[in-house]
Structures are given as structure tokens and as C-alpha cells.
Structure 1
Amino acid sequence: MDAGLLAQYVAVALAVLLSAAYVAKRQFPNAVRRLRIALAAPLVREGRPRWLVGLGRAIAPPARAGADGCGGCSACEPTPPRR
């Protein structure tokens, strides 16, 4: 196989992978969040090496805002005025 052809295959595979990740994040945000939690949880357990814990924290989704004391329905916040 030619090196140029191999580079094209790698570039196309990378483009397809990035496109699929973008669509999954835009269309299925809750599923992507659950997947990130499922991947990160085993990595941040007690006794894991520091680099593995760092990787798990990088994979983990950010904490949801407003879910500290209640269910996070955002009903306490005032609604913005309509335009």
C-alpha cells in the first residue's frame, strides 16, 4: 500500500470519527454524559495511579450547575423576559 493512500485512509477515518462524536454530542447529550461517567468512574477510584486519576477527571463531564440542593429543575430561577 502506498504511503499517500494510507495517509488518506487515516484522514478519512479521523474525519468520520470526529463527525460521529459531534453528532452524538449534539443529538444525544444525556447518553454521552452517561457514557463519560461510566468511562471515568473506574479510573478515579481509590488506589489508582495519579496519571490514571487525572485521565479519569479529564474524561468526566463537568458537574451540573444548580443541582446542589434540589433536583435541578431550575424552577427557582426567574424566567428571562420574552422578546
Structure 2
Amino acid sequence: MTAALLLQYVVVALAVLLSAWVVLKKLAPNATRRLRIALALTLLRAGRPTWVRALGRRVAPSPAATGTCGSCDSCGPPAS
């Protein structure tokens, strides 16, 4: 296998993974959030190198809204 063919396979694999991630985020946002949390918790364990912990903080999703508002933008009066 030549280096050019290997590079082509790597680029195609990355494109497929990126496409699958975008589709998963669009169709299953809760599952995507759970996957990101699980990955971040694994990367943020004690004893990991600093760069791995930094990657884990970057992968972690932003905190969800707490309280009665679920941040669904429907807190206003009902539409007539």
C-alpha cells in the first residue's frame, strides 16, 4: 500500500466519522450529550496527563439549564 492510498483512506474515514457525528447530533441530541459526558469523564480521571484533562474539559458539553426552565424557549405565555 502506498502512502498516497493510505492518506486517501484516512481522509475518507475522517469524512465519514464527521458526517456520522453531524447526523447523530441532529437526530439524537440527548444520546450525543450522554456520549460526550461519558468521554469527558473518562478523560478527566485523576492521574491523567494535563493535556488529556484539557481535552476532556473541551469535549465536555456545556452545563444544562437547571430549575423549572428546561431552556426550550417556551417559557412565555402560550400562543393563541
Q: Greater shift after overlay, 27-36 or 40-49? A: 40-49
Tell me the amino acid that sits aligned with residue 26 of structure 1.
Answer: K
- Give % identity: 55
RMSD (Å) for aligned C-alpha atoms: 3.0
- The alignment's TM-score, normalised by the length of structure 1, stands at 0.69
Q: Greater shift after overlay, 35-44 or 12-21? A: 35-44
Distance in 2 (CA, whole Å) between partners of 1:37 and 1:31 is 10
- The alignment's TM-score, normalised by the length of structure 2, stands at 0.71
Q: CA deviation at 1:7?
A: 1.9
Q: CA deviation at 1:80?
A: 8.1
Q: Which runs of 5+ in 1 are unaligned?
A: none
Counterpart secondary structure, 1:32: helix
Q: Which runs of 5+ in 2 are unaligned?
A: none
* Partner residue in 2 for 1:77: 75
Pairs aligned (count):
80
* Partner residue in 2 for 1:24: 24
